[in-house]
Structure 1
Amino acid sequence: MRKFILPIMAATLALSACNNAKSTLIPTDPEKWGEISEQVKRLNDADREAVTKYMMRMTLGAAFSGGKAGIPPGTTIGDAIEQQHKWQQKQQQEEAEAAALKAKVEAQKAADAAKIKQAATVAITDVSILPQNVMAGRYSDRLNMEIAVQNKTAKQISGIKGTVNFDDQFGSRISSLNVSLDEDVKPNESRNITGYGRDLNQFEDSDKKLTSIPFTKMKVTFVPGMIVFADGSKIGKVADDES
């Protein structure tokens, strides 16, 4: 009988010590945290980790807010554990919501891109570098693109917006360029468009790479974001801060 009583008594004493530890007040002054080190050691691993993270989180919050935050007076170790668990649950919920929203947006973009590709094909047929020419009003080198657009619908296209990605032959991204093609393309017809590009900065590594790599050794792709038709209808959606 005694061999059963001893483990029960030990477990009871350990639980009592843990409960007593959880009722201990946490000093608001971090320099006095050593006073509760023995009580913290009595906690199980999960609770010890939770109270430690709580104390550090609240102290860092005070540091970044000019001392306006911190551990509230009267907070016990048990309170700290409970608050940390609530905070972690909230963080996990927010992360899950953010991940769900990101997945929804990405799925919508993929669906829009598929619809746009059914309506039109956009291809970058050539990329050239126009050298600096002050007499011609070019105060830096300029990247110039030739773009082919095929309208595969029975409606006239009024404009196409998207992103041009420049990758080297090894698949590494060199640069990206947002492009709004405010050009009409008649129904079921194709059109070659020139005059789109951007000035290059000689001090930017990506721009220097664009000038040094031949077009034949780059992969240049157009990722569509939106098509606007002459009748006012649209396919795709551009982010509010870009529209």
Structure 2
Amino acid sequence: MSQKKNHRLLEITFDIMKYIAQKDEDVGFKEICETFEIPKSTVHNLLHTMTNMNFLEKNVDTARYTIGLKCFEVGNAYLALNPFYSRAKEVVESISLTCNETTHFAILDGNEVVYLYKFDSMQPLRIFSHIGKRIPAHATAIGKAILSGLTREQLLALYPETTLPAMTNNTITDRNILLEQLELIRKDGVSFECEESTPFIQCFGVPIFSKQNKPIAGMSISLPVIRGEKNKEEFIRLLREGKRELEAMLL
């Protein structure tokens, strides 16, 4: 059976929304035109429509765009109807309140992790991240935890190049080193990274597997490097307990 083609203009519309959603700052009209290489008139009409429908917000002073409230409403509707996600939120919150560090829940999308939930600690030093944020999976503990559940063939498909992009000076940029590290994570069941995605931040992570032994999500505890690793074993215990509880829900 031949694959059905998407409606090109609708596809571009969603691509623009995803592009803006992944940015940490607002995006200008010129950048969108150059990124998608489509006529200015088409971009103008799409942005105008998306803004009118509240999928995008336009800063009247700078004429730059950010993601709109309607995107949050649509995404939140999906999550609200997912009992597994609701329970994952509770587990992530419980872990954070117990260890007083920031916790995350994320899924893998391509070779990036997408944060679906975050619970901040009460500590004065906080972790800069937010729900919906995308980060290269190979640079994060939560991402490497999920990646550890993939086969070598799947990993090579995700990372066809031998050199990986760096987020900091500590990011693993050699695919072979990443593959070796993922093999160790498979054996131990816990991942770790120190300043690989964010300076001065270290993280511990665990994957969450379906009954078919497929990685579907991950959880992590993040904390400043300055607090050291004295509570490492407690962090790992909490993550493993949360992992067991969530995996028990899955059919």
What TM-score, normalized to structure 1? 0.23
More strand by share: 1
What TM-score, normalized to structure 2? 0.23
